[in-house]
Structure 1
Amino acid sequence: MSADSQLFDDTFNITGVDSQKYDRVSRLSGISTSNDITMTVDINTELYPCSVGDTVQLVLASTLSLDGSKDDGKGWRITSEGETSLADIFDYVCHGKIYRFEEGEGESIKVYISFGGLLLFMQGPYKKLTPLRMDYVYLLMKK
C-alpha cells in the first residue's frame, strides 16, 4: 500500500465492548499497543464480532487502491477482474467523513469520524493524528 494513502495505522487492544444500546452494533473501546492513542469505534457485530482482549489493526486511508491512486468514483465493492484492493486484505471496511477536530491537553488532539452513523473517536498525539485533516477516509480493520 502506498504510504501517501495510508493516513493512520496502529494496533489496538480492545478494553471494552458495549452492546447494550443496539442489537447489531457494539461500541468498542481500545488503547494502542504503544499506549499513546485511545479510541472508541462503533461496529456492526454481525459482520465483525469483537471481544475484550482482542487485538485489532486499525487503518485509516484516503483510497483503497493498493498503488495509492485516487478513487475513480466506482465504489469500493466494484473492482475489475483480478484487481485487488485494500478491502480484500481487511475484514471490516467503512467509508466515512471526518467531521470534527478538537484540541486536547498538551500535544493531544481529538478526531471524530462518522461512518454513516457509526462513529469513531480517537485521542492522541498531534503528530500521529494530524494527517487525518481531510474530508473523507476509509476505515479498515482486521484481527
Structure 2
Amino acid sequence: MAEIHFDETIEVLSIEDKQNKRVYRIVAKSENGEFYLELDVHSSLYSMLPGEKYRMVISNSLHLDGSDVSAYFPQGKQESLADEFEFVMHGVLFKVSEAKGCNTEVVVYISFGGLQLMLRGDLLKMHQFSNRKLFLLLRKM
C-alpha cells in the first residue's frame, strides 16, 4: 500500500510572483487550518488561483501497492494514485525542522527539481515524513 504522508484539502490564500515569470509561489492553508504551506508552481504546467481549493496528497509512491516507481512508467498499464489527480511532481525531502518559536510544530521542506514546498504543521501529524523520495499530487476541488 502506498504510504500517504499528507492528504488534505488546501485553499490558496495568495500568489507571490517570483523573479522568474514562469514560476509563482502559492501561499495556502489546509481547510481545517492545521497546516500552512508555500509551494512553487510552474505557471505553464498548472494554474492555481487565490480562493480555489485543491486536494493535495504527498505519498512515497504512485503505485497503489507502495512499490518503487521505476524510471519508466507507462500510462494506462497499471493503476496509479496519479489517475485521480491533475498534476504530479516527484521530489526529495531535504529538511525537517522544528518551527521557530513553536515546539509543537515542524516544518518540512521538499525540492521538486528547483520548485520547492514548505509545509508547516503539528508535530504529531507530520512525524511520518521519513522517506527521501516523495510525490506531490494535486486536483482542483
Give the TM-score, by structure 1 length: 0.89
> Unmatched 5+ residue regions in structure 1?
none
Asked whether 1:73 is paired with 2:73, we answer no
**1:115 maps to what in 2?**
112
Aligned residue pairs total 138
Q: Please identify runs of 4+ aligned residues in structure 1 that moved more than 6 A.
A: none
Distance 1:72 1:17, change over 3 A: closer
Residue number among 129, 132, 135 corresponding to 1:132 in the alignment: 129
1:83 to 2:113 alignment: no
Q: What aligned pairs does 1:1-143 form with structure 2 within 5 A after superposition?
A: 2=1, 4-68=2-66, 70-75=67-72, 78-79=73-74, 82-104=77-99, 105-143=102-140
1:59-116 deviation per Cα after TM superposition (whole angstroms, max 9, x unaligned): 1000000232x115234xx226542312222111111111011112131001111000
Amino acid at match of 2:12: I
What secondary structure is seen at the aligned counterpart in 1 of 2:11? strand
Following the alignment from structure 1 to structure 2, what is the Cα–Cα distance between the partners of residues 92 and 80?
14
TM-fit CA distance, 1:44: 1.2
2:128 aligned counterpart, secondary structure = helix
* Residue identity matched to 1:85: S
Deviation at 1:25, TM superposition (A): 1.1
**1: CA distance between counterparts of 2:13 and 2:58?**
20
1:134 Cα shift?
Answer: 2.1
Distance (whole Å) between structure 2 residues aligned to residue 79 and residue 85 of structure 1: 11
Alpha carbons 2:11, 2:29 under 8 Å: kept: yes
Q: How far apart, CA to CA, are the structure 1 residues paired with 2:21 and 2:83? A: 27
Q: Output the TM-score relative to the length of structure 2.
A: 0.90
What is the percentage of aligned positions where both structures have the same residue? 29
